[in-house]
A and B are shown apart, each in its own frame.
Chain A
Amino acid sequence: MTDAADTDRWIRRLNLVQLVLAGLLIMAPTVWMVLSSFKPSFEVTAYPPTLVFTPTLENYVELTRTTPFLSYALNSLIVTVGSTALGLLFGIPAAFAVSWTRISWPAILTLAARMAPGTLFLLPWYVMFRQVGMIGSYTALILSHAVITLPIVIWVLLPSFDGIPRSVFEAAQVDGCSVTRILWRIALPLVASGVAVSAILAFVFSWNYFLFALVLSNGDTKTLIAAAFNFIGEGSTQWGALMAAATLIALPPLVLAALVQRWLVSGLTLGAVKG
């Protein structure tokens, strides 16, 4: 009895140690980045790193003074919202069609496209977009980012649609619904939380995606994450401003994830268990 209690106590302690270690590993770079963004510029690269310092907004002021940061933020927002909307527009009917017909190869194809390295698409796209004069346009960026958002929407929603009892769709058919109407009137309201989760995930992944914007954008349409790359200069790097930019870039995905974390978990497991 005592042995069992001792073992339990040790397991709990080891669990705690594991959690702390994992937490440190994940959080340390983020904490370091956020703290550095509030340090005076000469202290950002100081070695050993200073833990006690007088916080300053100097880096943020520098960032907005020397770069069109808000314009880049707006570019990111346009590309991310556009590609998320495009992903939802095509992903919702696509996921429903795969669930309805039980023909899964189109969904697997989109997953393969998502898993392939971005460079695979980049060269042909660059050639194609250049030929039609679309390099540097929002449209090119939104279309390219749809490769990220579309598979996310399809694969988050597929188990949600699969989780709806088939008889509910059949009842709607007998009631007089066409397949399209079944999607909009019956299926979509039942997977609303799945749609929200897929939209948030698509938003976050598109917001964070770097490669396509680096090549397909121009000075006017550069997204935040591609613009931040410019801070790493050939001669000197503005580490303070870079930290401030990285903190601001990370903010929307972190806030979104924190706001809906409980929903996110339930949304990702939607359809796993039939109610």
Chain B
Amino acid sequence: MASISIRNLTKRYGNFTVIPDLNLEIADHEFVVFVGPSGCGKSTLLRIIAGLEPISSGDLYIGDKRVNGVQAAQRDIAMVFQDYALYPHMRVYDNMSFALELRGTPRAEIDARVKRAAALLHIEPYLDRKPKELSGGQRQRVAMGRAIVRNPKAFLFDEPLSNLDAKLRGQVRAEIKALSQELKTTMVFVTHDQIEAMTMADRIVVLQSGTIQQYDTPETVYERPANQFVAGFIGSPAMNFFPVEWRQEQAVLSQGGTVVALDGETAGRLSKAGNAVLGIRPEHFAVATDAADGIAIDVKLVEPLGSDTLIHFDLAGGPAIARVDPALRPKVGDRINLRPQPGKTHLFDATNGQVLR
């Protein structure tokens, strides 16, 4: 078990820089999720930690040891791959015992560890089967079992749920979370799915173009996004953005001039900035009973989700979404008055997207 420390790390492929000067500290026992859009460098970063990609410059420490030039085989970390990467010619048991056998672990101990991991993951009945005889979910568990038996310093997961169907994904997600609490080992998990990031992580690293946009707890990343990119990436449906201006002592949408009722603190920040981008999550709209109190919108599309209902509408020249109480039973064409909930709005710098605090 160990911390992971990345200092001034750069990764280049030829003249193309994938990761420019990245710093990151992952504490011992911490579950950290790298999240970001395709091509943001999250998998590259994970492969660098694993020792499968060399570092162009900077330092990588696992525990107290600098491991820049250390082979993957000597790093004592375990990795679960997106396509599971099981050894097709070996039985499940041999897949799981292989790494221990390489380390010269006594046969009796190997047997005990494999059986313990198999029991933990409910794959005991499949120990004599070959990977091709297993379903996707079972293969996924074997891949995790192969990692667990080693008792490594850290676990690395490279989008391990992306090949599973939605139901199984939810189930395995919960299992990995439970496993992390039981094993108490440092875990780094890569995903492009922000729900996975939110539900599993102790801390989330939001990446874009190889740079860290925000590194914080899921709650903080959701409630206090550092910039417009993070605000738009975390949360589903995504946050709505509207350019706003401070005119005649009130906030108005730049396009259309509709007045928006903001709480005092947000209004104060906007008055200082003059103009900004207003961010409102779909769930942070409230239906105003008084027409003068809200923004009148026309419902374009209704998506009932059971627990709540999404309504789509156009505002300030762009599409927007609000999450409302299903009891409202809105219909297409209805006119509804919405207002942002006080204290739940975000203001971003109109030029660089950084949050205005």
A186 touches B87 (CB 8 A): yes
Total contacts A to B, CB within 8 angstroms? Answer: 58
What are the residues of chain B within 8 A of A220 when measuring CB–CB? none
Answer yes or no: B73 CB below 8 A from chain A CBs: yes
Chain A proximity mask over B73-86: 1 for CB below 8 Å, otherwise 0: 11101110111011
User: With A and B bound together, what is the CA distance between A69 and B99 in angstroms?
Assistant: 54
Closest residue of chain B to A178 (Cβ to Cβ) is B73
User: With A and B bound together, what is the CA distance between A190 and B71 in angstroms?
Assistant: 24
Q: How many residues of A contact B (CB 8 A)?
A: 17
Chain A proximity mask over B84-95: 1 for CB below 8 Å, otherwise 0: 011111000000
What are the residues of chain B within 8 A of A190 when measuring CB–CB? 88-89
Closest residue of chain B to A169 (Cβ to Cβ) is B85
Answer yes or no: B102 CB below 8 A from chain A CBs: yes
Answer yes or no: A85 CB below 8 A from chain B CBs: no
User: With A and B bound together, what is the CA distance between A174 and B71 in angstroms?
Assistant: 9
Closest residue of chain A to B78 (Cβ to Cβ) is A174
What are the residues of chain B within 8 A of A171 when measuring CB–CB? 79, 81, 85-87, 146
B138: min CB distance to chain A, Å = 17
What are the residues of chain B within 8 A of A167 when measuring CB–CB? 81-83, 85
A175: min CB distance to chain B, Å = 4
B72 touches A173 (CB 8 A): yes
Q: Tell me what chain A mostly uses at the interface: helix, strand, loop, or mixed.
A: helix
What are the residues of chain B within 8 A of A168 when measuring CB–CB? 85-88
Interface size class of B (residues with CB under 8 A): 20 to 34
Within 8 A of B (CB), among A60-118: none
Chain B proximity mask over A183-211: 1 for CB below 8 Å, otherwise 0: 00110011000000000000000000000
Answer yes or no: A176 CB below 8 A from chain B CBs: yes
Answer yes or no: B4 CB below 8 A from chain A CBs: no
A174 touches B88 (CB 8 A): no
Chain A proximity mask over B307-343: 1 for CB below 8 Å, otherwise 0: 0000000000000000000000000000000000000
What are the residues of chain A within 8 A of B52 when measuring CB–CB? 170, 173-174
What are the residues of chain A within 8 A of B150 when measuring CB–CB? 175
Closest residue of chain A to B156 (Cβ to Cβ) is A174
Answer yes or no: A214 CB below 8 A from chain B CBs: no
What are the residues of chain B within 8 A of A186 when measuring CB–CB? 87
Contact of B79 among A165, A174, A177, A185 (CB under 8 A): A174
Given known contacts A167-B82, A170-B81, A177 and B102 CB-to-CB distance under 8 angstroms: yes
What are the residues of chain B within 8 A of A189 when measuring CB–CB? 89
Answer yes or no: A172 CB below 8 A from chain B CBs: yes
Answer yes or no: B51 CB below 8 A from chain A CBs: yes
A183: min CB distance to chain B, Å = 13
What are the nearest 7 A-B pairs in CB distance?
A167-B85, A171-B85, A175-B99, A173-B72, A176-B102, A189-B89, A167-B81
Q: Beyond A173-B73, A174-B51, A174-B73, list 14 extra A-B contacts (CB 8 Å).
A: A167-B81, A168-B87, A168-B88, A170-B50, A173-B51, A173-B71, A174-B50, A174-B78, A174-B79, A175-B98, A175-B150, A176-B73, A176-B74, A181-B102
Chain B contacts to A: CB under 8 angstroms: 50-52, 71-75, 77-79, 81-83, 85-89, 98-99, 102-103, 146, 150
- 26 A-B residue contacts at CB 8 Å? A165-B83, A167-B81, A167-B82, A167-B83, A168-B85, A170-B85, A171-B81, A171-B86, A171-B146, A172-B98, A173-B51, A173-B52, A173-B71, A173-B73, A174-B50, A174-B51, A174-B52, A174-B77, A174-B79, A176-B73, A176-B99, A176-B102, A176-B103, A185-B98, A189-B89, A190-B89
